[in-house]
Chain A
Amino acid sequence: MLSMEPSIKRGLTFWDRALLPWDEFHERIGTIRTAMRAAGLEALVVSGNMYEDAALLYLVGGNVDGTMVLTLEGEPSIFTVSGSRESFFLRELTWMQDVSYRGALVGEAVRKALHERGVTGGRVGTAGLQVLAARPYHDLIEALARYELHDFNAKLADIRRRMRPRERTAMARARSITAKAVAAAERVFAEGASNAAAVIEAERVARLEGAWDYRALANIGADELRPLEQPSDERREPLLLWVATRYQGYWADQAAGLSSAEGDNSRKAVAAMTAVAQPGVTAGAVAEAGLDALPEEARRCALAYGLGRGIGIELNGWPVIAHSSDDVLTEGTLLSFHVFAGGPGRPSLASALVEVRAGGAVPFG
């Protein structure tokens, strides 16, 4: 679900070495190198920023923005956008040793790094370059003019979709944080707090539990989902709240819509999507199942908010649960279903975080 982007990811920022130790990243790098060899690549150049970080985070392991150079042998390098003052802290967040600040224009640094590793020509893969603004992008492309560039985004995304055990553990931790945050919000709301105060309490608990990033939408000041912008004493029942938290790069989300008769609509839709989600089924078919469970007036609203996405290292990942989607679900895919059923009467909100297994979708964790 779309949510308000914070100016900085300012929750607990550290490398949880017990959860994702050094060898985890070496195994990932090994898998990537195997795929690079199969694609005939001499090297891979991957970019990310503080907002679109999935490809880079998977390889680097910490919230380190910049451009990474990975060759078939030897240690990789990353050239960061964050300032030189921050370099010492960024080094604490990643397993990588060669972390250096180069600013936004990294073309020359990347070209030099390739040369130093003996890659002076040939086929070089790229991923994440779509996050670069025009000037940094063209600077990089011009610096790599002597190479045959190959878009590696799809292959890298395909590898990332096969979630590793430790990734699932990180996601389970995020799920636990999210559940505690939602429970805290429900508790203070039940005690008489306003919708806004409930959202604040959810954030407080999420951050206390170690969330690196936190997002929330709730029915604050209107019967629709909104970000918290101002404190308010207004109570709007039931509390409709969506919370997402991220731990060590992995997201989990959950909705709270205290029980009401109208809530059955959104819950029925989520249950219907869960029932049909299994390997080989298209995301479009899943969406249709959810929409079929909703009365006509609620469908338009549910469609506008979206019915769900893949979730993991991306909050809004592959696939999109939309009736137009031909994406085919595969075993192991983690999906976040959410249905906001508006229209006449009281709106309702429900969600489910499920894993697609051979026999069907089951709750994750």
Chain B
Amino acid sequence: MVDQLPPLPLALKAECLDRRRRAVQETLRAKGLDGLVAYGNGRHSFLASNPAWYLAGFRQLGPHMAVLLPAEGDPAVIVAPTWDAGRAQEQIGLPDLVAVEPADFLPAVQAALDRLGMRRGRIAVAGGVQPRLISEAWPVMLRNPELGDKLVSDLSRIRDEWSLACVRKGAAIAEAGYRFILETARPGMPEYVLAAESEAYMRGLGAEDNFQLLSASQHNRAAHRTSERLLAAGDVLLGEITPSVDGEYVQICRTAVIGDPTQTQLAAFDLLDGALRSAMAAAKPGVAARDIVEVMNAPIVAAGYEPYTKPPYMRTRGHSMALGSMDPEIAIDSDEVLLKGMVFVLHPNQYLPETGYIMCGEPVIITDDGAVPLTSRMGRLETIPA
């Protein structure tokens, strides 16, 4: 199953990375800043942003990486560990790159800041989720460092061509992975065996990582990590499948029934699917995220399920898939406004008392006509032979 999907054009990656760094430099100059320190920890979680990854295009093995970007001039990259230098140089392609041991990271950053003349200027730090050791080092190393996460996030939340190429490939892998799951799952199979086989399949298609929840029950409380439970006729199988391609995660949320679905299950899925489609139609540039939540919740509330539209019966109505930006969060308390070109997953996943938890969610891109799915086919209530 290797190389079924065409490789992505690496020249496009280099071009987009260069454009990202120049765009950040323009913003730095416009704001009167002298430079940016973009930091990334080694936990490439799609639930947290990684500004260094966004500007370097590299997922480092070690716990630390920083891109030092002066407002004028060339950037410097410090990455850990030393033995990963070859991979870093191949993928980052910048001449000013140094690989150090994790313990030497901060001294190396300080030396590079000195060399670039960034210690004394107005410097912003985009850190994402930082260990305390790192976040408390910046004020010592820099003179009054300013918050710079938004500076990167505002750029990265609008996907460029490379990001979209990765996301589209990721969506194709996710859909293929789910088809594989439907073909492979059978009563008597442990959840973790199904997960193992589908993981390997998606890895062969080019998924470097996968934030996956895959679980089943006759009445699901929610989706969760894969357990030892054996699949059984009548189970509702939930899949939150999130492969990553070059650091870009893309998520689909799916539900299948082992055996014939009941009329209640079909009606429940239709209710959530209708809510998703309404929200997608409304999700246009300029619309507030909280309004999308209202639109999505409206048919569910009208059907009498208002209490179940809140935690702990659901988590959120949609979210970014990082690593570049955590925007937008599609939540009732969100002040964010949708912008053309944003990519995120929209999902009315939730518990319903008659059926248990149901998942239906699509990765979408915001266009003038609303949210357009990045998948070839939206989810439906699938059937697995009992």
Contact = CB atoms under 8 A, between A and B. Distances in A.
Contacts of A325: none
A227 B212 contact: no
Contacts of B131: 133
B44 A133 contact: no
A83 interface: yes
Contacts of A225: 83
Interface stretch (A10-18, A27-35, A69-77, A160-168): A10-18
B252 to A, nearest CB: 15
A355 interface: no
B262 interface: no
Nearest to B2: A231
Interface residues of A, number: 52
Given A3-B61, A4-B61, A12-B226, A133 B203 contact: no
- Best-surrounded residue of A84, A87, A222 (most CB of chain B within 10 A): A84
Interface in A169-211: 194, 196-197, 200-201, 203-204, 207-208, 210
Interface string B206-242: 1011111100000001101111100000000000001
Closest 4 CB pairs of A and B: A207-B196, A204-B200, A84-B312, A12-B192
B225 A10 contact: yes
A83 to B, nearest CB: 5
Report the contact-size class of chain B (Cβ under 8 Å from the partner).
35 or more
A197 to B, nearest CB: 6
Contacts, number: 149
A105 B221 CA distance: 26
A228 interface: yes
Contacts of A13: 192, 224-227
B2 A9 contact: no
B227 to A, nearest CB: 5
A207 B192 contact: yes
Contact of A7 (B190, B203, B204, B209): B209
Nearest to B132: A134
Interface string B177-206: 000000000000010110111011001111
Interface string A145-163: 0000000000000000000
A208 B190 CA distance: 10
Given A231-B205, A304-B82, 6 more contacts: A10-B213, A201-B200, A207-B195, A208-B193, A226-B84, A230-B206
A8 interface: yes
A196 B224 contact: no
A206 B354 CA distance: 37
A132 B43 CA distance: 14
A230 B7 contact: yes
Contacts of B224: 13, 86, 89
A196 to B, nearest CB: 7
A7 B210 contact: yes
A194 B246 CA distance: 21
Contacts of B212: 8, 10
Interface of B: 1-3, 7, 42-47, 59, 61-62, 81-84, 86-87, 129-133, 135-136, 190, 192-193, 195-197, 199-200, 203-206, 208-213, 221-222, 224-228, 242, 244, 246, 249, 311-315
Nearest to A88: B221
B86 A305 contact: no
A138 to B, nearest CB: 9
B193 to A, nearest CB: 6
B7 to A, nearest CB: 7
Interface string A76-106: 0000000111111100100000000100000
A227 B315 CA distance: 32
14 contacts: A5-B43, A7-B211, A7-B244, A8-B212, A12-B192, A12-B227, A13-B192, A85-B315, A133-B130, A197-B204, A204-B200, A227-B208, A229-B59, A304-B83
A190 to B, nearest CB: 17
A101 B222 CA distance: 15
A301 B81 CA distance: 12
A260 interface: no
A2 B81 contact: yes
Contacts of A3: 61
Interface string A276-301: 00000000000000000000000001
B34 to A, nearest CB: 24
B167 to A, nearest CB: 16
B225 A8 contact: yes
Nearest to B135: A134
Given A137-B132, A207-B192, A200 B83 contact: no
B199 A203 contact: yes
A101 B312 CA distance: 10
A231 B201 CA distance: 11
A203 B59 CA distance: 20
A89 B224 CA distance: 7
Contacts of B42: 5
A282 B224 CA distance: 44
B192 A11 contact: yes
Contact of B206 (A4, A83, A231, A304): A231
A130 interface: yes
B311 A83 contact: yes
Contact of B2 (A88, A92, A233): A233
A232 interface: yes
A203 B203 contact: yes
- Best-surrounded residue of A87, A194, A231, A304 (most CB of chain B within 10 A): A231
A283 B54 CA distance: 39
A228 B227 contact: no
B222 A233 contact: no
Contact of A14 (B129, B227, B314): B227
B192 A210 contact: yes
A84 B312 CA distance: 5
A22 interface: no
A7 B59 CA distance: 12
- Best-surrounded residue of B87, B210, B246 (most CB of chain A within 10 A): B87
Contacts of A7: 43-47, 209-211, 242, 244, 249
A24 B279 CA distance: 50
A3 B212 CA distance: 19
Contact of A228 (B196, B208, B246): B208
Contacts of A226: 84, 87
A226 B1 CA distance: 21
A222 B131 CA distance: 32
A8 B210 CA distance: 8
B62 to A, nearest CB: 6
A134 B84 CA distance: 28
Contacts of B249: 7
